[in-house]
Each structure stands twice: as C-alpha cells, then as structure tokens.
Amino acid sequence: MSSVEGSILGLLGLLLGFTFSIAVSKFETRRHIIVEEANAIGTTILRADLYPDSIRALLRSDLKLYLESRIAYYKAGNDEQKVTEEIEKGEVISGRIWKRVAFYSQSEEYRVRSMMMIPKLNEMIDVVVARDASRISIVPPLVLWTLLFLLAASSFLLGSDYNGEKRNVILLVGYSLVMSLTLNLISELNHPREGLINLDQTEKKIDDLRKMLD
C-alpha cells in the first residue's frame, strides 16, 4: 500500500469515526429532550388537578390542545412549514395557560397551588426551544459530502493495480460495502424523523399522555 493510500484511508477512518460519534450524540440528545418534555407536560397535567374543578377544566382543555400540537409537531416530519405552524400554535396555547396560572397566582387562595404549577409550566414551555434547536442541529451536509468523496477516492485507489499486483476483489467489495453502510448509518442518525432509525418509540411517551386527559 502506497503512502497516498494510507493517508487517505487514515483520514477517512478518522473523519468517519468522528462524524459517527457526533451523529450518535445528537441522536441521544434528541431522545433525552423528548423524554424531558413528556415528563414536563405530564407533571403540568397532574398539577392542574390542584385547582378547583372550574379552573381545572379550563387548564386541562388547553393542555389537551397543547399536547395535540406537540404530537403534530413531531408528525410534521421535515415539513418546515407545518413544523413552524405547530410551534406557533403551541406558543399561543401555552401563553394562554401561562396567563391563566399567573392570574390566579395573584390570589391568596390559589397562590400556593400556582407556585407549584409555575416551575413545571415554565419547564414545559422552555423545552420547546431546546427540542427544536436539537432538531435542526445536524451533521453539516458538507461533512457528509466530504466523507462520500473520500470513500469514492479510497475505493478507486484500492481498486487500481499497484506495481502490477491484482487486488482481492472480495476484500474490495467488502470494504466498499462496510463503508457505505456506515455512511448510511450516519445519515439515518442524522434524520431521526424518517428512515429505519427514528424516535417513534420515544415520541410515544408524549402520545401516551393523552390517557391522562381522557
């Protein structure tokens, strides 16, 4: 193997490992934020029960609309227009819930209950920003294109005759296949709303909150 081939393969291995590590880290971050949001919404629903029935009914009604909006946000996939619409819709509903809780927090009768409600409600609202930021935080396309170019270049060099020696075809095909699968795996992790590797099972934690509002 020439020094050029060795350098390209070394660079490809380093970049591939680094990129795969980033993709896995981002995927796990997205998973963690979904669980965090499910916990925040679930606790907020439970704490709405601290209020009398008249207030509780209004809060639960808005929370149900908010929950449906967050479920629709995930189902929108990569449709940016739909994603934006659901974020804006959720902001309107959460703003209405916040104003109602803030209003009752001024009353001595409901102050303690509101002080218990506000922290989780605030967490429920704030996690939306973190979740959408994680959604758009992906491995840059330029990095993936660079990996693809290095993969093609290394396959070409390894497939060429070197000093008149024939290369093992099976090993070359195996090398190309393994590298292609690894690159595809990175791409799958990079877009968890579609493909075989997705966050559907984790998102089900939010879907299951519907039972609390039935």
Residue 7 belongs to some domain of the structure: no
Which residue carries 């993969």 as its tokens? 151
Domain limits at 38?
24-139+198-213
Residue 59 belongs to some domain of the structure: yes
Asked if pLDDT for residue 78 goes beyond 80, the answer is yes
Across 74-88, 99-113, 163-177, least confident range: 163-177
CA distances from 120 to 45, 51, 89, 116, 117 (A): 10, 15, 20, 8, 6
Q: How far apart are CA 163 and CA 157, in angstroms?
A: 13
Q: How far apart are CA 210 and CA 38, in angstroms?
A: 11
| CATH code at position 90 | 1.20.120
Q: How far apart are CA 36 and CA 30, in angstroms?
A: 10
pLDDT at 59: 96
- Which is more confidently placed, 162 or 100? 100
Model confidence pLDDT, tens digit, residues 13-72 = 888 888 999 999 999 999 999 999 999 999 999 999 999 999 999 999 999 999 999 999
Residue 104 belongs to some domain of the structure: yes
Number of folded domains in the chain? 1
Residue 38 belongs to some domain of the structure: yes
Q: How far apart are CA 183 and CA 119, in angstroms?
A: 42
- What are the residues whose beta carbons fall under 8 Å from the beta carbon of 165, sequence distance 6 or more? none
Alpha carbon distance, N-terminus to C-terminus of the chain:
67
Residue 116 belongs to some domain of the structure: yes
- What are the residues whose beta carbons fall under 8 Å from the beta carbon of 21, sequence distance 6 or more? none
Residue 112 belongs to some domain of the structure: yes
Residue 149 belongs to some domain of the structure: no
Residue 8 belongs to some domain of the structure: no
Q: How far apart are CA 137 and CA 27, in angstroms?
A: 10
